[in-house]
Amino acid sequence: ALAIHPDLTYEHRWTARELLLWDNRCVMHRATPYDPATQGRVIRRCTVLGEVPA
C-alpha cells in the first residue's frame, strides 16, 4: 500500500532530551514495540485551539 511505502515513511531513532511533534490531521502514526521494564516512555499531548487552517 502507498501509505506504508518505505519512501513515504519515517521511523524516529530516539536520543535523550528529544521532542517529536506531528499534526494528527496529516499523518498516520503508531507506536513501535518496546519493553516497559527497560525502556521508559513519557507521552504528553498538546491540543492547539483556533481557526481551522484553509
C-alpha cell at 52: 481551522
Dihedral through CA 16, CA 19, CA 20, CA 23, nearest 10? 170
**pLDDT digit of tens for each residue in the chain (54 aa)?**
788 898 988 888 989 899 888 888 888 888 888 888 998 888 888 888 888 777
* Residue 2 cell numbers, joined: 502507498
pLDDT score, position 54: 72
CB contact at 8 A, 41 and 34: yes
Q: Are 27 and 20 in contact (CB under 8 A)?
A: no
How high is the pLDDT of residue 45? 86
